[in-house]
Structure 1
Amino acid sequence: MEQAQDTWQPPPQSIFKLNFDAAMFSSLNRSGYGAIIHNQKGEVMAAMAAKCPKVVCSEEAKLLTCRKAIEFAVGVGFSELVIDGDNSLAMTAISTPKIDQSMLGNVVRDIQHLLRNLHWVRVDCTRRGENRVAHVLAQFARIISENMYWMEDVPSIASEVLYQDLLDL
């Protein structure tokens, strides 16, 4: 889904990619969010790991993570994004213009509202293997005591995966 305010606009010269993932920790009665923003060279612009309340299903976790990740990206100053998640149901729901009547419809509408306020956006569904850093950050949320944010860096636990991704570019 590509959006523009009134007319179609070409993609910006410098595209930033927002990858996000969720993890469910049933034994801890909570979940975790992870997100990373990187440029076309694969360099990290910002990242986050957050602990969150328990969720009912993976689709709920992915949608809540997507909303949190977009809010994070906007909060640190990004308004032109490729948004990449690995749950096809969630990515289809947020990129479809029809009203979502499901129990998660309010979260979908929140995300769509956030997307409308971006200068440029494209929503993609990626393979799980291409979302590894976000996955590691979501898993990292299991052991943190408070939400964590990084600018131009990731925690050491995600560095090796990030390095592997850079080699794959």
Structure 2
Amino acid sequence: MQNHRLGLGLRYHGSATWQPPPSSVYKLNFDAAIFAELDRTGVGAIIRNEHGQVMAAMTASGPKVSSSEEAELLACRRSMEFAVDAGFTKLIIEGDNVTVMKAISSSRINCSILGYVVDDIRHLIHCLEWARTSFTRRGGNKVAHALAQHARYSLDNDVYWMEDSPPPAVEALIQDVMFL
């Protein structure tokens, strides 16, 4: 399988609002939340098209972590697994942690203790037909953030939505579409 890639480096966009992907490409936004008092994390992910319509979304619980970078990397890996399993092949992968986004978009070997997670994410990205990584400000990642926060209440059950707006993030979705 031949991979076609646009822009191997990390893209930054200065907008504080969600920006739609180009036509025929989907955007995967992901985020993590740390629930120290519960000894676990939350993962939120949403995949949308160029019109801002929800193609797929998820909220899930994750393990206890030692840093926000670890939480974000694990959330990215979980979100990428979700996107690949759901059959998406052309993605802009977008998160709001610049350190994480730099790590997964770099071609350099990651020798950190979390290098194996970075390698897993890169492997998943290389399974795609087309991919680009992008850093956004927190305001451009509100829906994924709301879904990650919702994992506090979903206990050990992962929740998935296909072509349906996830109720825990409806307000954030409406705000995003208002700016399109």
- Shorter chain as denominator, the TM-score bin is over 0.9
2:165 matched to which residue of 1?
A: 154
Question: Paired residue for 1:165?
Answer: 176
Deviation, structure 1 residue 6: 5.8
Question: What is the CA distance between 1:47 and its match in structure 2?
Answer: 0.2
Q: Does the CA contact (< 8 Å) of 2:4 and 2:130 recur in 1?
A: no
Q: Cα 1:157–1:100, aligned 2, differ >3 Å: closer, same or farther?
A: same
Counterpart secondary structure, 1:112: helix
How many Å separate the matches in 2 of 1:52 and 1:98?
A: 27
> Residues 34 and 57 (structure 1 numbering): CA distance in 2 closer, same or farther, change over 3 Å?
same
Task: Structure 2: give runs of 5+ residues left out of the alignment.
Answer: 8-20
Match of 1:5 among 2, 22, 42: 2
- SS of equivalent to 1:131: helix
Structure 1 alignment gaps of length 5 or more: none
- 1:157 offset after TM fit, Å? 2.3
Cα separation, 1, equivalents of 2:5 and 2:178: 34
CA deviations 1:81-103 (Å, max 9, x no partner) are 00000000000000110100011
What TM-score results when the alignment is normalised by the length of structure 2?
A: 0.87
Q: What is the aligned partner in structure 1 of residue 89 from structure 2?
A: 79
SS in 2 for 1:21: strand
Distance 2:166 2:32 in 1: 17
How is 1:11-160 mapped onto 2 (pairs within 5 angstroms)? Answer: 13-145=23-155, 146-160=157-171
Distance 1:132 1:8, change over 3 A: closer
Size of the aligned set, in residue pairs, is 166
Identity %: 55
8 Å Cα contact 1:91-1:125 kept in structure 2: yes
